Structure 1
């Protein structure tokens, strides 16, 4: 059985740079979406919040109308009692009975006044509530319309990019599996900690791509020899020579076009 050839440093660098190109392409797709998914989520929450608020306002409105109805019934009952007590006063036998009925009549008149005062207060609350409901409905309509447009925008972007993104994610996972765990762990750590997720960068005009710190000529020679993995002392990024980067970029570009 033939012994499996161990990957050279150059092979590892090419694999790492391929993975970087794939992950950078995924980042580009997600940057196109930008904050849109979060914006849609926030709008959905706001619309639901406005619907809940309107439901509570409507419930309170029903309660206020019920309160008015109850007070009107109380007034009618008081009128009936006043009429009853007034009739009874015509047939009293003494002043004590007359005064007692007068006090009942007076009490019912006070009850009517208090009920009428409450009705005025409830009607004022209803008027204020109706203004709040009208404003809330207008805002809900505006935000719901805005949400509809944003959802359509997000749907269109997802439609255009979802297939490519899923294919790239699968490709990224497959490439990650082919890279030795130690290097993969380093790549993931660097990618997380540096700007734009660039963990593997080429030498550009004698400087590290992404950080632009000049690389000493001797180090550039070592990078170009592809004999060992070298990191930028300033940013911690893994460095590759421009020729290797160009070759892999052309190869991956052709791969991306097939997706």
Structure 2
């Protein structure tokens, strides 16, 4: 670039834009090698956390059922003690009415015992069912955790292989981004975000913009090669540069990345 106090020429702007495009394209490639791995890792983490919460819920339900069983067993002991008491009292009654009243109390306690035994049986059945669910969940958690560790290692290996290059590219992207006027940089990012492949700046190849089948008129190609103004492809809206400039910047970028 020329003196920082001078306004950069259109050619310098185009070179900076294409440099940034080369860097961003390489960063895209690096991130694409990770594919869906980051999302897979996050999804597995969320799944395991969700299953862990369900395990805690089931364990609490089992604990509550065991407490309920304990309470029912205590209630049975109380009823048995009352039955014994009322039965003894029947030996000392003074009339039939008192005897019948005590008999009803004994019958009531018998019913209470049967009801408690029924509730204990039901609670035990629920506990068994919940234990089966718990075993299945824990087995699933173990499987998911193993799969997660594998995916994390896979992602870590990919990141490790490209970490230094990605850091250098990010630093270069910031450097070239600072050399581009804010309005132009904003336009570049807008174009980049609007196209699937992220190519906002493309060279003219074989008479058409890279990746396009639409031919650019010879007069337009000459204007692009002159580098006197920023020209957009009327079909894709991308910024166009001549192939010679593109080749030069690719070579420079290769050297910069090796340095």
Structure 2 CA distance, aligned partners of 1:137 and 1:61?
A: 15
The SS at the match of 2:235 is: coil
Q: TM-score, normalised by structure 1?
A: 0.95
2:118 paired residue number:
117
- Alignment partner, residue 105 of structure 1: 106
Which runs of structure 2 are paired with 1:122-137 in the superposition (5 Å)?
122-137=123-138
Which position in structure 2 is the counterpart of 1:225?
226
Residue pair 1:18, 1:248 contacting (<8 A) in 2 also:
yes
1:67 aligned to 2:68? yes
- Tell me the CA shift for residue 132 of structure 1: 0.7
- Superposition pairs of residues 5-154 of structure 1, within 5 angstroms: 5-154=6-155
- Cα distance, 1:4 vs structure 2: 4.4
The answer as to whether partners of 1:19 and 1:172 remain within 8 angstroms in 2 is yes
How far, CA to CA, are the matches of 2:41 and 2:163 in structure 1? 17
Cα shift readout 1:103-148 (whole Å, capped 9, x = no counterpart): 1001000101110111111011111101110111111111111111
Q: Distance in 1 between matches of 2:93 and 2:4?
A: 125
Q: Let me know the Cα RMSD of the aligned residues.
A: 1.5
CA contact (8 A) 1:198 1:210 kept: no
Unaligned runs of 5+ in 2: none
Q: Which SS does the other structure have where 2:236 is aligned? A: coil
TM-score, with structure 2 as normaliser: 0.95
Q: 2 CA distance for matches of 1:129 and 1:114?
A: 22
Q: Distance in 2 between matches of 1:66 and 1:121?
A: 13
Shift, 1:190, TM fit: 0.9
In structure 1, stretches of 5+ residues that fail to align are none
Instruction: State the aligned residue count.
Output: 257
Q: Partners of 2:5 and 2:152 in 1: how far apart?
A: 52
C-alpha deviation, 1:257, in angstroms: 2.5
3-state SS in 1 of match to 2:197: helix
Match of 1:248 in 2: 249
